[in-house]
């Protein structure tokens, strides 16, 4: 074997990672929770896209969905409630070479984190965001979230939620800077994976809302759509979903949709029955914040250390002898 071929074989071996390479702690979600399907799709995505674990980071806030970094054998940052986006943005500016994913829930993102969510859309930084939307606060034991249906009875709304639910898709496409918007459901794993893969390959802020089941507090919420595949509207396009024969035969309710058309995307996103599944909107020409602010230069350890020293010097109280020595120098 010549040297160039040997180097190629070694490189291929080093770049391949099996599913087991991304499996971290044992998931503690309830049996039947849609978070399990999202985790499986994420691990498959990392393996098939050959994302090196040491170059991949998952960031989350607080909630059932935000435990996902614990179950990925990559770098992870379990941040404060609603604060996943600024953490991920800081990582992007400091380390633009990393693969960055954000895992957030309908409460974490759309309630306490709504301000960060809106501005993260404006910045359009390169990361893949997955909104786990089960219409309820699960970790804190059944409180109404911004996406809970009207009339939903919970510990915080014992007489039923009074407001109409927020639609994260239409909100996202109402913000200047949004560049990729999609929707998936946890009970069709093939489409969930395909959508996440396209989101990852998009260069920009990829926002994927995943409608997911909560067997504990919303046990039958999605049953009508789960048991009747025709109540899912699959959006097909050469630049969107391309269905396998099995999916195409079992889910015959399909519509050709060009994801460039944001007006049509907003109209489709407003549908509640059938549930649209696929790529709603994509704008690969949208500018990225990190490009405009030159985040491409990696920060060396020396530069980081110098930055720390510079900031610490501002508040350091030096002994008089040291001051005199410094002034004489």
Contact 233/81 with Cβ under 8 angstroms? no
Supply the pLDDT for residue 25: 87
Distance between CA atoms of residues 241 and 235, nearest Å: 7
Q: What is the pLDDT of residue 317?
A: 86
Rounded Cα–Cα distance for residues 329 and 313 (Å): 17
Q: What is the pTM of this model?
A: 0.86
Joined together, the tokens standing for residue 188 give: 């069709």
How far is the C-alpha of 128 from the C-alpha of 209, rounded, in Å?
A: 11
- The residue ranges of every structural domain in the chain are 19-297
Whole-number Å distance between alpha carbons of 211 and 275: 10
Contact between 21 and 74 (Cβ < 8 Å):
no
Q: What is the pLDDT of residues 69-125, one digit of tens each?
A: 999 999 999 999 999 999 999 999 989 999 999 999 999 999 999 999 999 999 999
Nearest residue to 89 via CA among 65, 54, 62, 113: 113
Give the whole-angstrom CA distance, residue 51 versus residue 288. Answer: 22
Q: What tens digit of pLDDT does each residue of 203-256 get?
A: 999 999 999 999 999 999 999 999 999 999 999 999 889 999 999 999 999 999
Q: How far is CA 241 from CA 154, 195, 257, in A?
A: 36, 7, 10
Peptide bond into 118 cis (omega under 30): no
- Residue 150's pLDDT is what? 95
Using an 8 Å Cβ cutoff, are 254 and 243 in contact?
Answer: yes
Binning pLDDT at 50, 70 and 90, where does residue 323 land?
A: low
Residue 303 has a pLDDT of 77
pLDDT in tens, 210-223: 999 999 999 999 99
| Cβ neighbours around 310 below 10 Å, total | 9
In the three-class reduction of DSSP (H, G, I as helix; E, B as strand; rest coil), residue 145 is classed as coil
What do you get for the CA distance between the two ends of the chain, in Å? 61
* 3-state SS class at 206: strand
Name the 3-class secondary structure at 176: coil
Say what the pLDDT of residue 294 is. 76
pLDDT averaged over the chain?
91
pLDDT score for 318: 77
Q: Per-residue confidence at 298, pLDDT binned at 50, 70, 90?
A: low
Q: Residue 198: CB partners within 8 Å, gap ≥ 6?
A: 182, 240, 279
pLDDT at 6 over 50: no
Backbone angles phi, psi at 3, to 5 degrees: -65, -40
Q: Domain spanning 19-297: which superfamily?
A: Thiamin diphosphate (ThDP)-binding fold, Pyr/PP domains (3.40.50.970)
Query: What digits encode the pLDDT tens for the residues 18-53?
Result: 888 899 989 999 999 999 999 999 999 999 999 999
Q: 36: buried, middle or exposed (CB in 10 Å: 19+, 13-18, 0-12)?
A: middle
DSSP 183: E
Determine how many CB atoms are found less than 10 A away from the CB of residue 294. Answer: 9
pLDDT digits (tens, 9 = 90+) for 302-313: 878 888 899 999
Spatial neighbors of 168 by CB under 8 A, at least 6 apart, are 106, 109, 110, 131, 133, 147, 207, 209
- DSSP string for 228-260: -GGGEEEEE-TTSB---HHHHHH---EEE--TT
Average pLDDT over residues 164-187: 97
Q: Which of 58, 4, 89 is nearest to 196 (CA)?
A: 58
In the chain, how many H helices and how many E strands?
A: 13, 11
Q: Output the CA angle 231-133-87, nearest 5 degrees.
A: 145
The mean-pLDDT minimum among 68-77, 139-148, 294-303, 310-319 falls in 294-303
């Amino acid at each position: 074997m010549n040297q160039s071929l040997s180097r190629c074989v070694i490189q291929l071996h080093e770049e391949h990672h099996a599913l087991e390479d991304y499996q971290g702690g044992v998931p503690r979600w309830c049996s039947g929770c849609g978070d399990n399907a999202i985790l499986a799709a994420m691990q498959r995505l990392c393996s098939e896209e050959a994302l090196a674990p040491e170059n991949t980071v998952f960031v989350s806030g607080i909630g059932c969905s935000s435990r996902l970094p614990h179950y990925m054998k990559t770098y992870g940052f379990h941040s404060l409630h609603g604060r996943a986006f600024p953490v991920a943005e800081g990582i992007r500016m400091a380390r633009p070479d990393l693969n960055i994913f954000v895992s957030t829930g309908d409460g974490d993102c759309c309630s306490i984190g709504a301000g960060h969510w809106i501005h993260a859309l404006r910045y359009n930084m390169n990361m893949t965001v997955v909104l786990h939307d089960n219409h309820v606060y699960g970790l804190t034991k059944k409180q109404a979230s911004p996406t809970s249906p009207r009339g939903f009875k919970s510990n915080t709304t014992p007489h039923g939620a009074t407001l109409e639910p927020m639609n994260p898709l239409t909100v996202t496409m109402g913000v200047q800077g949004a560049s990729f918007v999609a929707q998936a459901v946890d009970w069709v794993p093939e489409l969930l994976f395909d959508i996440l893969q396209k989101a990852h390959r998009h260069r920009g802020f990829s926002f994927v809302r995943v409608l997911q089941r909560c067997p504990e507090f919303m046990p039958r919420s999605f049953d009508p759509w789960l048991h009747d595949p025709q109540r899912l509207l699959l959006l097909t396009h050469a630049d969107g979903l391309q269905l396998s024969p099995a999916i195409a035969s079992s889910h015959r309710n399909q519509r050709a949709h060009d994801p460039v058309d944001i007006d049509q995307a907003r109209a489709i996103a407003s549908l509640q029955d059938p549930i649209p599944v696929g790529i709603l909107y994509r704008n690969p020409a949208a500018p990225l914040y990190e490009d405009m602010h030159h985040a491409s230069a990696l920060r060396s350890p020396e530069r980081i250390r110098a930055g720390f020293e510079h900031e610490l010097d501002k508040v350091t109280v030096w002994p008089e002898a040291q001051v005199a020595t410094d002034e004489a120098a």
